[in-house]
Chains A and B, each alone.
Chain A
Amino acid sequence: MNFFQLRAILGYVTFSIKGKQFVQFFHHCAQANISLWDISLLNENEAEAKVYTVDYKKIKAVAEQLQFTMTITKQNGLSFYMLSLWNEKQKIVALICSALLLYGLSHTVWHVEINGVPVHLEQKITEQLKRMNVYRGDFSTSRLPVEAMESNIMETLPQLLYISVKKRGTIYVVEAVEKKQETSESKLTPRHLIAAKNGIIQKMLIKDGQAVVAVNDFVKKGDLLVSGRINTEENIDEANEEDEVARTLLVASEGDIYANTWYELHVSSNLFTTHEQLQGGIINHYDINIGKLAIPVKFWPKINFKEKEITEIKERTRLFNRELPITITKRTIFDKQTIEITRTEDEAKQQGIDHALEDLHIKLGKDADILKYYILHEKVESGKVKLRLYVSVLENIAQAVPITKEDK
């Protein structure tokens, strides 16, 4: 910081000193370690000089002591500017009001435009947007980001194929496309149902097609279950005996074939493990980030947690359509405790089995049922229980394959 910057910040006073032998006054000032500058003579008994505002009281005391007459001619610097501004409070009030008004206007929704959907969907989208505080005239400082709005609407309105929410300043523009439900008949082509896995058939729910297998039949992967080629009596009568194609009716086989299938799983479960648990203590701290500079705004209370988990949410401040280079960071500090858990062999075994069955269930889908399981082999090794499981499952094994020209 140079001399001129320091002067501007500290503020300085231009004063005139009147009296005989005023050099004495300057000598006393120098002795008192008071810096003076721009000392010029006005006349034989009067001089003008400048001094920092912080030293003004000292210099006044010197002048009184030496019985000199001192007059302030000018005041300069930030401190005086602030003081003069404070004296004109209406300007400050106007400035604050303008800033608040500008902030309010920039955070108010002035228009919501929905394009590309019929009226009934438009109403539903409008309702959803209202729930997320997006409607004309709404003032809110913390709205969901547009990506979250899009995913929320897509979840609640499955009839939408696509949605795009764009924020243009204080206007929201929603572009959406409705799903066009095509008739299943027009989509489906003639097909067979074959076995996707080996298994023993337990139940058959056939909607269309001709069953080739029966309940309790053992089928291998790739075996035909339901045929899409149906021989009808009418066709046999009407068509020429030599023309087999004319006697068959091709359909798109549909249905569920549930079979008992088997899986062999290898499971490993730790006897010693650690578990992190949140204790309930939460502290929120806030920072204002300007570029790389982080200014703590709320940094109390002090964090006394032995272990902590920290999450950060950063929110960019906006003014109309422009992102300001200021980010507000909310830092949430959770009180955490790490617990060391020692499990018995049975507990570890049970947990391993539960996890393995759950994983298998997720992998096979919600239609599958796990009927029973057997432990084929188990051993304890290096602090782990290792298991080999045999799991019996009831699942839909039907897999559609189109009827090719060769098949026909």
Chain B
Amino acid sequence: MKFIKHLWHSLTHLSPEEHYPIIMMYGNKQIVIEHVEELISFTHNKISVLCQLGMVEAYGEDLLILMMQQDEIVIQGTINEVQFSPEKRRNV
């Protein structure tokens, strides 16, 4: 019973200490990134966002920000590449 509880908890609860960026892609037309801390750059070809554990960069053509909230961003356009760089962190 304890094992099942532990398994269920591990499946349904992400560790609050680890703010991984959650990335969802809808084909190559839309990308949703959660746990965003800051928008770093925004051009037609590249959008970079900083998360706690690294930087996410989306490369493509005709990129625009479909929606932007406190910790979430939706990018739209023709996405060619998504890159995650864990070494690029905010200097605390």
Contacts and interface: CB of A to CB of B under 8 A. Distances in A.
Interface stretch (B7-15, B26-34, B63-71): B63-71
Chain B contact surface mostly: strand
A37 B75 CA distance: 10
A26 B39 contact: yes
Contacts of A49: 65
Interface in A1-48: 22-23, 26-27, 29-31, 33, 35-41, 47
Interface string B40-68: 11111000000000000000000011111
Contact of A29 (B40, B43, B44, B68): B68
Interface range on chain B (Cβ under 8 Å from partner): 10 to 19
B70 A33 contact: yes
B41 A41 contact: no
B69 A39 contact: no
Contacts of A29: 68
Given A39-B64, A40-B64, A23 B69 contact: no
A37 B66 contact: yes
Interface in A246-278: none
Contacts of B68: 26, 29-30, 35-37, 39
Interface range on chain A (Cβ under 8 Å from partner): 10 to 19
B77 to A, nearest CB: 10
Contacts of A31: 70
B39 A23 contact: yes
Nearest to A48: B64
20 contacts: A22-B42, A23-B39, A23-B42, A26-B42, A27-B39, A29-B68, A30-B36, A30-B39, A33-B70, A35-B67, A35-B68, A35-B69, A36-B65, A37-B66, A37-B67, A40-B65, A41-B42, A41-B43, A41-B44, A47-B42
List of 10 A-B pairs having minimum Cβ-Cβ separation, nearest first: A39-B65, A40-B64, A37-B67, A36-B68, A33-B70, A23-B39, A26-B39, A27-B38, A35-B69, A23-B42
Given A26-B68, A33-B69, 18 more contacts: A23-B39, A23-B41, A26-B39, A29-B68, A30-B36, A30-B39, A30-B70, A30-B71, A33-B70, A35-B68, A36-B65, A37-B66, A38-B64, A39-B42, A41-B42, A41-B44, A47-B42, A49-B65
